[in-house]
């Protein structure tokens, strides 16, 4: 009988943001597949979870994915976690879930922390319709082309961005989208959590508020 693949959401910053069910499952499974075993070790130590771990990330997803699928087919129970938040969202975990589904292996989601949903529900922007894009292309030409294709989208747009590109990206968004309302969310659930609100042109000029450190979520409201 095939095993079970659990998709386990983990904290995006504050270690208290984990469910009781997630803690139980992480203790009960045979193996935890994680993006970075050293990062996940801190969470496991905090909750006295002694389950064995193995790495599963972008550069080993094919080889390690085959191994994990073989273990699942042998009846093992495996938990998939990312470094932070819900696995498979802008994350190579998608590949493992896809392959497990194709093999008829049971996949069980354990809902929990998500940077996308946390940023959206606290942004003050419309939540009835939204589109999550994730990380934009690094090259400016491709980035601009993608943003141009989103100009007529009526819902709230949600992006991830690195601290090293956040200023240029917001500036480019101001050029492409114009006076749309936006929210920049920095270091969600962490000590230095912050929200910057205003129009895109206003935010693009806020050099003191945009810190080139830590992760950012960018939310852009619908056209005025």
Q: How does pLDDT run across 160-212, given as a tens digit for each residue? A: 999 999 999 999 999 999 999 999 999 999 999 999 999 999 999 987 788 88
Q: Per-residue pLDDT averaged across 30-58, rounded?
A: 97
Q: What is the pTM of this model?
A: 0.92
Ramachandran class of 205: left when φ > 0, alpha when ψ lies in -120 to 50, beta otherwise? alpha
CA 134 to chain centre: 8
Selection from 79, 59, 69, 63 nearest residue 18 by Cα:
79
Residue 133 near residue 159 (C-beta atoms within 8 A): yes
Is the domain spanning 4-110 CATH 3.40.1010.10? The answer is yes
* Homologous superfamily in CATH for domain 115-220: Tetrapyrrole methylase, C-terminal domain (3.30.950.10)
Q: Where in the chain is the domain with CATH 3.30.950.10?
A: 115-220
Average pLDDT of the chain is: 95
Q: Per-residue pLDDT averaged across 123-147, rounded?
A: 96
Q: Where in the chain is the domain with CATH 3.40.1010.10?
A: 4-110
Write the CA distances from 143 to 63, 147, 162, 176, 206, integer angstroms: 31, 6, 14, 11, 21
Q: Per-residue pLDDT averaged across 107-118, rounded?
A: 96
Q: Per-residue pLDDT averaged across 24-32, rounded?
A: 98
Selection from 84, 91, 112, 156 nearest residue 24 by Cα:
112
Would you state the pLDDT for residue 1?
Answer: 67
Percent of the chain with pLDDT over 70: 100
If you search the block for the tokens 């193995």, which residue do you land on?
A: 54
């Amino acid at each position: 009988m095939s095993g079970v693949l659990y998709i386990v959401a983990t904290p995006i910053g504050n270690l208290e943001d984990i469910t009781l069910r997630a803690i139980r499952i992480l203790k009960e499974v045979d193996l935890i597949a994680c993006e970075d075993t050293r990062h996940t070790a801190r969470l496991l130590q905090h909750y006295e979870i002694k389950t064995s771990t193995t790495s599963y990330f972008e550069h080993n997803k094919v080889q390690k994915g085959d191994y994990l699928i073989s273990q699942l087919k042998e009846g093992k129970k495996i938990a998939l976690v990312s470094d932070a938040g819900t696995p498979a969202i802008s994350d190579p975990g998608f590949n493992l879930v896809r392959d497990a589904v194709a093999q008829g292996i049971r996949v069980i989601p354990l809902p929990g922390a998500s940077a996308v949903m946390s940023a959206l529900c606290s942004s003050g922007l419309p939540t009835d319709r939204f589109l999550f894009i994730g990380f934009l292309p690094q090259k400016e030409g491709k980035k601009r082309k993608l943003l141009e294709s989103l100009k007529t989208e009526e819902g709230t747009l949600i992006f991830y961005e690195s601290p090293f590109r956040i200023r240029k990206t917001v500036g480019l968004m101001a050029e492409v989208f114009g006076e749309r309302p936006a929210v920049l969310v920095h270091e969600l659930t962490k000590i230095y959590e912050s929200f910057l609100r205003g129009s895109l042109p206003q935010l693009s000029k806020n050099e003191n508020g945009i810190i080139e450190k830590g992760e950012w979520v960018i939310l852009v409201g619908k056209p005025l």
